[in-house]
Amino acid sequence: EVQLVQSGAEVKKPGTTVKVSCKVSGSSFTDYYIHWVKQAPGKGLEWMGLLSPLDGEAIYAEKFQGRVTIAADTPTDTVYMELRSLRSEDTAVYFCAKGVIDWYFDLWGRGTVVTVSS
């Protein structure tokens, strides 16, 4: 059974960087697209980007381009999402999700709460 296990909650100051991990267990992350989705408090779901299994490349939403990096550590089957220059609007729950090909998301991690506060 494939599971996505995310890292724990983070509290960061404005202007700093957060790195959230998503470990794929029960399979190799290279078998799937792995996506990152943001959910601000009381708000909806917002797609941030994905890591493609085909070539290991990341594709980002324009809104986050330049401030986010999605990458993987192959030996540990862990995918990371790094968000830089944090501001209060980045306070949110960040989910990783497994994609079925490049279509819908059939499995989600439990989410990582990131709080940005001075």
Binding site for other proteins (CB under 8 A): 35, 44-47, 49, 59-63, 95, 97, 100, 102-111
How many residues does this entry show for the chain? 118
Q: Which is nearer to other proteins, 46 or 82 (CB)?
A: 46
Placement of tokens 């009381």 in the chain: 42
Name the token pair of 84.
């830089």
Whether the Cβ atoms of residue 97 and residue 35 lie closer than 8 Å to each other: yes
Smallest gap from residue 13 Cβ to other proteins (A): 26
Smallest gap from residue 50 Cβ to other proteins (A): 8
Work out whether the CA dihedral 75, 78, 79, 83 comes out positive or negative: negative
Q: Which is nearer to other proteins, 3 or 16 (CB)?
A: 3
Q: What is the DSSP letter of 76?
A: G
Q: Which is nearer to other proteins, 73 or 102 (CB)?
A: 102
Smallest gap from residue 60 Cβ to other proteins (A): 7
